[in-house]
Amino acid sequence: MRRPWGLASAGFGALAALCFTGFKATPARLDEQGVLHEPFGLIPLGYLCALLAAVSFGVAWLRRK
């Protein structure tokens, strides 16, 4: 039953990579009023997923011993 922690780690790592890639791939734009529109929400979401990946990897590593 150690496999779910490894899968969770890989899944969160993939989500983090998708968030950061999505932020870089989405172009910034200005509307008529001069307001900047960028997907800034992907940055903290990516860091949260990266943190969860690190924690689940650590749990998987500790349970392996």
Say what the pLDDT of residue 20 is: 97
Q: Which residues span the domain enclosing 29?
A: 3-64
Q: What percent of the chain has pLDDT over 70?
A: 95
Say what the pLDDT of residue 2 is: 53
**How many whole angstroms separate alpha carbon 38 and alpha carbon 59?**
35
Question: What total number of domains does the chain contain?
Answer: 1
Does residue 6 carry a pLDDT above 70?
A: yes
Does residue 1 carry a pLDDT above 80?
A: no
**How many whole angstroms separate alpha carbon 8 and alpha carbon 28?**
32
22: tokens are 């999505």
pLDDT digits (tens, 9 = 90+) for 8-34: 999 999 999 999 999 999 999 999 999
